[in-house]
Copies of this chain bind each other. A is one copy, B any other.
Amino acid sequence: MKKVVVTIERQYGSGGRTVGEMLANELGIHYYDKELVKLAADESGISEALFVEADESIRQGRAPLLRRMKKSVYKGELISPRDNDFTSMQNLFNYQADVIKKLAETKPCVIVGRCANYVLRDYDNVVSVFVHAPSDFLMEQAALKQPMRGKELEKFIKNTDKYRADYYKYYTGERWEDAYNYDLCLNSGKLGFEKCVEAIKEYMKVRFGEDVFEQ
């Protein structure tokens, strides 16, 4: 197929990741989410553990989010290994972004999370998707993966999405839930997963032409 990259951001429980995997399987293209961290670790020579730690510091609110907002917005440059900031959160993100760009320049694929839509916002071959759903649907789906129920589960979903929004804000300066940041936003609660996949494929045909999936 044509070299099209689909990026997916998603609410916890919306099934955005499942939709991404289904889409990649159907199209016979590669699917990336956590694997990106490994690729970035390999490229930079920085330990994978440091990447995980950077994510965790945002999750736990340890990163001084608001004060450093401007400084942390992604500009695209990599820092030299001799620099003190080589293992800073910004530079770790920059290496991830570099891996994402190289993937987008090489082959069609699906990338979930990691602000890939922002990193690739100037690429013409990218479809950035946001998947969301009403809260009863999120609860139902989350209950399949988590042992919690009721208020506790609701809070877990809310916190996970807050982490995703904070992560996005930290590195892009933008609001994660703003429709502006995506080419296509879908409500999976109304469509279900299979029809989400179908809707993304139909969008790809409309945007890139009927022959987008041909070899």
Residues of A166-210 contacting chain B, CB below 8 A: 177-180, 182-187, 190-191, 195, 198-199, 202-203, 205-207
Chain multiplicity (copies): 2
Pairwise interchain contact A182-B183, C-beta atoms closer than 8 A? no
Q: Does A130 contact B (CB under 8 A)?
A: yes
Inter-chain CA distance A183–B130, complex, in Å, is 11
Chain A residues touching B, majority SS: helix
Q: Does A132 contact B (CB under 8 A)?
A: yes
Pairwise interchain contact B177-A180, C-beta atoms closer than 8 A? yes
Inter-chain CA distance A206–B183, complex, in Å, is 18
Pairwise interchain contact A190-B177, C-beta atoms closer than 8 A? no
Pairwise interchain contact A199-B190, C-beta atoms closer than 8 A? no
Pairwise interchain contact A132-B186, C-beta atoms closer than 8 A? no
Inter-chain CA distance A165–B127, complex, in Å, is 26
Inter-chain CA distance A182–B180, complex, in Å, is 12
User: In this complex, which of A179, A182, A198 has the most chain B Cβ atoms within 10 angstroms of its Cβ?
Assistant: A179
